[in-house]
Structure 1
């Protein structure tokens, strides 16, 4: 690691150099508020240990005496264990193994940090970048890939068929303000949804979100990013029960591209979200698609001039899903080139559970809203890592 100004400008090319530039691992970086600019060169792999050796999921199992294979065998709902929540020593050991992984691959980003990828090949692989309790953070021009959780947890009560759930997003924004996520590419690496194994008849999901904004974060802008094939892409708002989120979660999303994603683009609770000039693309039929815009509890989603390319297998009524919300504003949507109201389509398909057409606010702070038909070309040209202009 080199620094042209040792007090605040760093050029890094390894995971350990990156962590050091941010103030260290664990809470040391989380509480570090010194202004720092960090330039990332090439690929940083979060599984690379401080001594340069590569850890693996097996490393964390060996450190703790845990076996994910034993966990899977023990809690098979179709075996003697049945449809009960996992419990006992294996659950405790799994928590220890998960903590060992977090110490290696999870990196906090504190206040007053700017992280910029250099050129078109800067990437961080295998990490959960967590912007937590921070103010004034910028992340630009990076590919952030594959935040694999080595130890997914089985939840038999999550849907009628159960689900495997993971701990890590590629980027998490928690209790943070004034955050700008710009010109990045976020993906699932070698494990997009169609590459996942099936365990207990359910996808063995090793990822959570690509970019989640939760826990009363506020004043966040997400611009000119690419979200590559993934299931749960972006959650805004922690849970229905977190009423502390009221009055926060003011988020702007513009000129992002979402390709072959399953859901949450975004799903909103409580937040006042400005969603304009985004481009959604389905390159063909795929079985993990559910919806794009989730209207959750006390949400205020304002969607304007977004372009959606749906596969013929999907109807415009699927664009919106209702998760306890009562209203949103939608203006200027185009679906496959045609003017279409996704909200009208949803309400026509769900006449006993409709959504109102007024989010209760109007965005004030935009430089420009582009015509919907110009969105695909603009986003293709300018969105993602390596396209800074």
Structure 2
């Protein structure tokens, strides 16, 4: 079990507005993290306060928290009516309405395709049994933006296409504490000039293509967009795309748990800039690729990761520091398996 040396840093930027409440959340939840760590062997159980143990926060960290593009962070449907939906027709109706809505999904809802979610929506699963199956959610269309959307605490299974597609210039999106499995194409794709997204505390399993970032090798409109934070996700036996990145910079891959990923962990292609930091790779022969398949090489800086029965990561070039945009704390990567398995997925945040 080895850790990689740190790479050089750019100077941190001035982003400090969210730092106080971020620190308060860490302190309030530190006891829960300590309990999770007791499941580790003594050699691995180094105490480390989590950036969000169990992820039980009301607001995102990472890129979805950044004030930009006319928004102060990501608030979803806050301030709008709260409704509970139990059918596909009800979900489609409220997800497509103008204005903010907090939409609570109760029980299992079967879709026949993709439902379009437009701006200012929170779609929240009730308890531990909320499920969307057979179809998925598409954030925005070419005429109706999917900005400022939150999706939390929902099990996505058996989608006929993507489970969640963040597309068509959607920005300020938070996808948190969901469970993704068994779709047809990608479980969670972010593409077509979307920006300022946080993907946190999700479990991905029983599928090949987990998380694509960037539409294609020829879609150069994504340059300067697709700034995404992936933190505290559990990539549990999925084969590839954790994420696969094109053009984006910076992409922050922080404190995720990779286990038994057959093809690779992270791939940076088409001059993307990816920071892979504080992750735990277990039984991953190719934890990080620079370039993949027919896609040209990207850039990768990796630091403070742990590789257990795993290969050597590929690295290249330099990457803009995420601290230019937001503050964060890195969990001890040796503790990441216990922290993430205890906290990721549905039924963990009391919605």
1:21 aligns with 2:94: yes
Q: What is the Cα deviation at residue 341 of structure 1?
A: 4.9
Q: Secondary structure at the match of 2:340?
A: helix
**What residue in structure 2 maps to residue 244 of structure 1?**
221
Q: What is the Cα deviation at residue 15 of structure 1?
A: 1.4
**What residue in structure 2 maps to residue 227 of structure 1?**
204
**What residue in structure 1 maps to residue 335 of structure 2?**
374
Paired residue for 1:182, among 159, 176, 185? Answer: 176
- Answer yes or no: is the 8 Å Cα contact 1:224–1:255 preserved in 2: yes
Q: Secondary structure at the match of 2:159?
A: coil
Q: What is the Cα deviation at residue 321 of structure 1?
A: 4.9
Residue deviations 1:91-125, cap 9 Å, x none?
Answer: xxxxxxxxxxxxx4210000000010010000110
- Answer yes or no: is the 8 Å Cα contact 2:157–2:180 preserved in 1: yes
- Answer yes or no: is the 8 Å Cα contact 2:281–2:287 preserved in 1: no
- Answer yes or no: is the 8 Å Cα contact 2:147–2:170 preserved in 1: yes
1:137 aligns with 2:149: yes
Paired residue for 1:342, among 313, 320, 323? Answer: 313
Q: In 2 relative to 1, CA 247–330 (structure 1 residues): closer, same or farther, beyond 3 Å?
A: same
Residue deviations 1:257-302, cap 9 Å, x none?
Answer: 00111111000011121000000111xxx8xx22121111020100
Q: What is the Cα deviation at residue 376 of structure 1?
A: 0.6
Cα separation, 1, equivalents of 2:337 and 2:241: 20
Q: In 2 relative to 1, CA 146–321 (structure 1 residues): closer, same or farther, beyond 3 Å?
A: farther
1:173 aligns with 2:142: no
Paired residue for 2:115, among 66, 86, 107? Answer: 107
Q: Which runs of 5+ in 1 are unaligned?
A: 1-6, 23-28, 47-103, 149-167, 190-206, 344-354
Paired residue for 2:258, among 280, 294, 303? Answer: 280
- Answer yes or no: is the 8 Å Cα contact 2:290–2:297 preserved in 1: no
**What residue in structure 1 maps to residue 56 of structure 2?**
none
TM (normalized to structure 2)? 0.70
- Answer yes or no: is the 8 Å Cα contact 1:224–1:382 preserved in 2: yes
Q: Secondary structure at the match of 2:208?
A: strand
Q: What is the Cα deviation at residue 212 of structure 1?
A: 0.2
**What residue in structure 1 maps to residue 321 of structure 2?**
361
Q: Which runs of 5+ in 2 are unaligned?
A: 1-79
Q: In 2 relative to 1, CA 241–265 (structure 1 residues): closer, same or farther, beyond 3 Å?
A: same
Paired residue for 1:320, among 289, 292, 297? Answer: 289
- Answer yes or no: is the 8 Å Cα contact 1:330–1:341 preserved in 2: no
Cα separation, 2, equivalents of 1:362 and 1:110: 28
TM (normalized to structure 1)? 0.64
Q: Secondary structure at the match of 1:179?
A: strand
Cα separation, 1, equivalents of 2:287 and 2:177: 28
Residue deviations 1:212-240, cap 9 Å, x none?
Answer: 00000000000000001211111101112
- Answer yes or no: is the 8 Å Cα contact 2:290–2:316 preserved in 1: no
Q: In 2 relative to 1, CA 276–241 (structure 1 residues): closer, same or farther, beyond 3 Å?
A: same
- Answer yes or no: is the 8 Å Cα contact 1:305–1:334 preserved in 2: yes
Cα separation, 2, equivalents of 1:261 and 1:321: 19
The structure with the larger Rg is 1
- Answer yes or no: is the 8 Å Cα contact 2:108–2:133 preserved in 1: yes
Provide the aligned length of Structure 1 versus Structure 2. 261
Cα separation, 2, equivalents of 1:337 and 1:261: 17
Q: Secondary structure at the match of 1:261?
A: coil
- Which structure has the higher relative contact order (CA within 8 Å, separation 6+)? 2
